[in-house]
């Protein structure tokens, strides 16, 4: 029986973009179902009743939630096609550490840039740049986070790049000027077809952030 693969997602979701890159990298055909997060569909609530968030991968009727778990699942199920995770246990643990660092630290810090009060802006920008500098330190002189080739950590982090124009605008700074090495890495990743075709248009991300700010009464 052919695999039935469905992705519940939202175009601008950096978490969903990770899953889209993984599916594209593996050449897996799937049905994409865009979700309205302001008015959640019964299917999303049924498939992810705990968090009620995208992305959700539905494989032969069974849901898998949380981007890290989904990407690892894809790698395990379609293991004969271009591996995403390093085979060495130590390198795998190391890759998971950086994915975790991003989700626990960088993402929350980045949110403050477009949610904070005017008087907190400078501190929010500084804290965010410090996080990116940590990532730049980990990148070092390697072409990719995973070494010579695009890998799991690259796939995990690159969707964030689509949010940079919005951060530049609301932080009133230039991430490229502050972290040129990180942006050079991002531009290199964008040359990969599975990445460029899976990422959202940064203008749409910007419009989404404007909408979120309006809903929060910030703008």
Residues that bind ligand GS8 (CB under 6 A): 10, 13, 15, 37, 52-55, 66-68
If phi over 0 gives left and psi between -120 and 50 gives alpha, with beta otherwise, what is residue 179? beta
User: Across-strand partners of 63?
Assistant: 58
Q: Based on CB atoms, which residue is closest to ligand GS8, 66 or 168?
A: 66
Using DSSP, how many helices (H) and how many strands (E) does the chain show? 12, 4
CB of 110 to ligand GS8, least distance (A): 11
CB of 2 to ligand GS8, least distance (A): 26
Q: Based on CB atoms, which residue is closest to ligand GS8, 53 or 59?
A: 53
Evaluate whether 162 touches 169 at the Cβ level (below 8 Å): no
Residue 155: which H helix or E strand, with range?
A: helix 152-157
Ranked by CB distance to ligand GS8, the top (closest) residue is 53
Q: Based on CB atoms, which residue is closest to ligand GS8, 66 or 136?
A: 66
Q: Based on CB atoms, which residue is closest to ligand GS8, 52 or 197?
A: 52
Residue of 105, 206, 124, 99 lying closest to 163 (CA atoms): 206
Find the radius of gyration of the CA atoms of the chain. 17
Distance CA 214, CA 182 (A): 30
User: Across-strand partners of 6?
Assistant: 31, 58
CB of 170 to ligand GS8, least distance (A): 16
Q: Based on CB atoms, which residue is closest to ligand GS8, 15 or 152?
A: 15
CB of 182 to ligand GS8, least distance (A): 21
CB of 147 to ligand GS8, least distance (A): 24
């Amino acid at each position: 029986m052919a695999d039935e693969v469905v992705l519940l997602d939202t175009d601008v979701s950096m978490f969903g973009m990770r899953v889209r890159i993984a599916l594209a990298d593996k050449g897996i055909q799937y049905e994409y179902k865009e979700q309205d997060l302001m008015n959640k569909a019964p299917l999303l609530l049924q498939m992810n009743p705990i968090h009620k968030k995208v992305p959700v991968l539905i494989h032969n009727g069974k849901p898998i939630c949380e981007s890290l778990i989904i990407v690892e699942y894809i790698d395990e199920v379609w293991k004969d096609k271009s591996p995403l995770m390093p085979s060495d246990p130590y390198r795998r643990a190391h890759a998971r550490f950086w994915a975790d660092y991003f989700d626990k630290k960088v993402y929350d810090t980045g949110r403050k840039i477009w949610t904070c009060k005017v008087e907190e802006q400078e501190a929010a920008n500084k804290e965010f740049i410090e996080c990116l500098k940590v990532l730049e330190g980990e990148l070092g002189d390697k072409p990719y986070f995973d070494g010579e080739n695009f890998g799991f950590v690259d796939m995990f982090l690159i969707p964030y790049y689509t949010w940079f124009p919005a951060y530049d605008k609301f932080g009133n700074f230039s991430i490229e000027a502050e972290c040129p090495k990180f942006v050079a890495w991002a531009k290199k990743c964008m040359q990969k077809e599975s990445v460029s075709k899976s990422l959202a248009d940064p203008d749409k991300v910007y419009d989404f952030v404007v909408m979120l700010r309006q809903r929060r009464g910030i703008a």
